[in-house]
Amino acid sequence: MLLELFFKKNPRFAVAFSGGVDSSYLLYAANAAGCDVCAYFIKTEFQPAFELEDAKQITNQLGIRLVINEYSIINEPDITSNPPDRCYHCKTKIFTGIRKLALADGYDILCDGTNADDDETDRPGMRALRELGVLSPLKICGLDKKTIRKLSAQAQLATHDKPAYACLATRIPAGTTITKELVSKIEHAENILFDMGFSDIRVRLLPPDTAKIQVTGRQWEKAAAQHSKIYEALKNTFGSIVLDLAER
């Protein structure tokens, strides 16, 4: 199915919006096609502050209404206990909340930015979307990440080259309890690295208190050269800091 045909069949729908590449392009394309769309952003402890700012920037640029709702995911024991299928439980709660908000606003169709590259076997959260009846127009229409980035650049969307960014909970290994303090530590450490000029990085927890820094291949030499500066910046946040020798 062509995306234009999807919009013709579904001219009014809500979008679960993350501020990332895929959902931003979906909003842009739907808006350009004349659809009545509204974006819903659920702010939890698992998302860094910049994601919300990006969401505001994109919706302001497009002139699309953005509904922001705060939800304390940290109070959900089936999520903070961090089982292997944590993402499934998290997506179920978040998308159930979005659907309720959207229905109250008169939107009975809910879509998300899942693309054709996303594989349900690698992402347990996608099972929750299927069970809740969430539609994924980009995936339905066969648009992969490379194509979406290209189309986003043509549309002059600021997100066209934005690195993929999974939620902060993914930095904590399954079985390790997720706490607000731990998530805040990780966000703080990643923000420090962003301020030092790094991008597309991860600070992953090695229990009990080691930060494993992962960078892309093109940034590895920079990270190695600045190891002393990185250590000084993070030594008061984690007990020890290591740099992953493998490319991110």
Per-residue confidence (pLDDT) for residue 183, from 0 to 100:
97
Question: Within this chain, do residues 54 and 119 fall inside the same structural domain, yes or no?
Answer: yes
Q: Which of 93, 126, 161 represents a domain boundary (last residue)?
A: 161
Residues 61, 144, single domain; the answer is yes
Residues 143 and 183 in one domain: no
Phi-psi region of 3 (alpha: psi -120 to 50; beta: other; left: phi over 0): alpha
Q: Are residues 87 and 9 in the same domain?
A: yes
Instruction: Say whether pLDDT at 55 is over 90.
Output: yes
Please determine, for residue 83, whether its predicted confidence score (pLDDT) is greater than 80. yes
- Write out the residue range of the structural domain in which residue 206 sits: 179-243
Q: Which two tokens stand for residue 177?
A: 């309890």
Task: Tell me: do 94 and 124 sit in the same domain.
Answer: yes
The answer to whether residues 23 and 131 belong to one domain is yes
Based on the fold, state whether residues 194 and 151 are members of the same structural domain: no
Could you give the residue ranges of the DSSP H alpha helices within the chain? Answer: 3-9, 21-32, 49-62, 77-80, 86-104, 125-131, 137-140, 145-154, 180-195, 217-225, 227-234
Burial label, 247 (beta-carbon count in 10 A; 0-12, 13-18, 19+): exposed
Interval 218-238: pLDDT, tens: 999 999 999 999 999 999 999
DSSP 8-state symbol, 176:
S
For residues 114 and 217, state if they share a domain: no
Judgement on whether residues 150 and 184 belong to the same structural domain of the protein? no
Last residue of a domain, one of 127, 161, 195: 161
**How far is 191 from 48, CA to CA, in rounded Å?**
9
- Residue 96, pLDDT > 80, answer yes
Q: What is the pLDDT of residue 129?
A: 94
Structure tokens belonging to residue 134: 């969430």
Q: What is the pTM of this model?
A: 0.94
Q: What is the pLDDT of residue 202?
A: 97
| Cα gap 202→185, rounded to integer Å | 12
